[in-house]
């Protein structure tokens, strides 16, 4: 086995040995060497479907940027302009964002939603700025919800701040659920149909789709600590804020297409990114997360290789999901990583896993370059 693949496999096997994991998978692409590696452990491999959860938002960003390029959507137009219901009097979304007696609902733009600057509360987990992953689905309680439920819950949870204000990016699944409805309003199709046309078929992805049928048992069940949970009604309700199913192999195909310009103009997206702090050590721009991990956070995981202790961790761009899924590009390191640790309760496990994999890839490349240089030296 290739030394790098052996190293990554060992990292995956270590995770699966823990009772919190029923499967772990990662696909790596080294831009410098052109080599790719597929690793799986437990019930996951590179071709086994899993729930992308929050990483779905990166797919939504790609679709929105396509629509922006086509002139079908403008970033600074109020999102309600694109909703079918709101074209007929805004009955459903009336007073969605009210703060201190002022209704800001009609001031929320597509840009605000994409950058988590809408100021809306969250219909799902986060209420105001309090962070908690305690939710009924974490206990295996399966319930579905409609768009009307999303609106009602968001309204009842209350707004955080006026749209476009605040130093931080205030994460809320509501933002991307609304963006899914924007896409549907513009395209005149369901989000699943748009996704299939603009992402799956365009890239030739046969195992990547929006989860809509609760009877579908293809994706591996998520883990919540040591419990495997079956929540098909909930997963079918997420749609644009967490409902994509994919595989490690196909998520890598999407990730490379995203950053290499096969789906939209990447410089345009990056030019619109006004980075704001979100969950430490992450920042959020326009539909894109930037992860800047400090040295002290990685130090406890480098003690076996002390020569790496003070090596800088380069910024990563992409998205991570509550289910331990990740889609990231490390441009300075020249590495792409995509996969999941399939664990709801501790997303940090995914971050550690992908960072160790990126560092192992860089170390392997450097060692290869050293061996090549040595073999070419005189004598």
pLDDT in tens, the chain (379 residues): 799 999 999 999 999 999 999 999 999 999 999 999 999 999 999 999 999 999 999 999 999 999 999 999 999 999 999 987 655 445 788 889 999 999 999 999 999 999 999 999 888 764 444 444 446 788 888 989 999 999 988 998 889 999 999 899 999 999 999 999 999 999 999 999 999 999 999 999 999 999 999 999 999 999 999 999 999 999 999 999 999 999 999 999 999 999 999 999 999 999 999 999 998 889 999 999 999 887 656 666 655 665 565 567 789 999 999 899 999 999 999 999 999 999 998 888 999 999 999 999 998 988 765 444 443 334 3
Q: Are residues 12 and 73 in the same domain?
A: no
- Is 78 domain-assigned? yes
> What's the CATH number where 169 sits?
3.40.710.10
Q: Are residues 354 and 221 in the same domain?
A: yes
Let me know: does 264 contact 73? Beta carbons within 8 Å. no
Q: Are residues 188 and 257 in the same domain?
A: no
- What values do phi and psi take at 174, rounded to 5? -55, -40
- Is 204 domain-assigned? no
Let me know: does 51 contact 232? Beta carbons within 8 Å. no
Rg (CA), the chain: 21
Q: Are residues 282 and 363 in the same domain?
A: yes
71: left (phi over 0), alpha (psi -120 to 50) or beta: left
Q: Are residues 336 and 348 in the same domain?
A: yes
Q: Are residues 144 and 219 in the same domain?
A: no
Q: Are residues 340 and 226 in the same domain?
A: yes
- Is 203 domain-assigned? no
Token pair, residue 352, equals 């550690």
Token pair, residue 366, equals 């450097």
Q: Are residues 138 and 188 in the same domain?
A: yes
pLDDT at position 366 is: 80
Tally of structural domains, the chain:
2
Q: Are residues 116 and 145 in the same domain?
A: yes
Q: Are residues 234 and 356 in the same domain?
A: yes
pTM of whole model > 0.85? yes
Q: Are residues 47 and 35 in the same domain?
A: yes
- What values do phi and psi take at 41, rounded to 5? -150, 155
> Domain limits at 127?
57-198
Let me know: does 342 contact 21? Beta carbons within 8 Å. yes
């Amino acid at each position: 086995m290739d030394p790098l693949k052996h190293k990554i496999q060992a990292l995956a096997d270590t995770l699966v040995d823990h009772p919190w994991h029923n499967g772990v998978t990662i696909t790596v692409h080294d831009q410098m060497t052109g080599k790719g590696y597929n690793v799986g452990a437990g019930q996951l491999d590179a071709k086994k479907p899993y729930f992308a959860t929050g990483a779905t938002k990166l797919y939504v960003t790609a679709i929105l940027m396509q629509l922006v390029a086509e002139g079908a959507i403008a970033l600074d137009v109020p999102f309600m302009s694109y909703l079918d219901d709101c074209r007929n009097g805004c009955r459903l979304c009336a007073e969605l964002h009210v703060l201190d007696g002022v209704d800001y609902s009609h001031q929320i733009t597509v840009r605000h939603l994409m950058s988590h600057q809408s100021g809306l509360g969250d219909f799902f987990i986060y209420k105001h700025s309090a962070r908690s992953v305690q939710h009924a689905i974490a206990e295996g309680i399966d319930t579905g919800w409609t768009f009307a439920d999303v609106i009602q819950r968001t309204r009842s949870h209350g707004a955080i701040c006026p749209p476009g204000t605040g130093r931080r990016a205030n994460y809320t699944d509501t933002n991307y659920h609304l963006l899914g409805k924007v896409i549907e309003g513009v395209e005149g199709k369901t989000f699943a149909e748009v996704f299939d046309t603009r992402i799956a078929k365009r890239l030739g992805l046969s195992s990547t789709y929006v989860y809509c049928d609760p009877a579908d048992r293809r994706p591996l069940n998520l883990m919540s600590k040591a419990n495997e949970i079956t929540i098909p009604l909930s997963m079918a309700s997420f749609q644009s804020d967490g409902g994509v199913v994919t595989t490690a192999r196909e998520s890598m195909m999407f990730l490379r297409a995203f950053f290499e310009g096969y789906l939209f103009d990447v410089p345009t997206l990056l030019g619109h990114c006004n980075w704001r702090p979100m969950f430490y050590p992450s920042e959020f721009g326009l539909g894109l997360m930037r992860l800047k991990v400090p040295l002290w956070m990685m130090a406890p995981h480098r003690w076996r290789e002390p020569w790496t202790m003070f090596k800088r961790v380069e910024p990563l761009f992409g998205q991570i999901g509550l289910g331990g899924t990740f889609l990231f590009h490390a441009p300075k390191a020249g590495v792409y990583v995509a996969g999941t640790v399939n664990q709801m309760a501790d997303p940090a496990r995914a971050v550690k896993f992908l960072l160790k994999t990126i560092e192992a890839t860089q170390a392997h490349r450097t060692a290869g370059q050293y061996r090549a240089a040595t073999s070419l030296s005189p004598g």
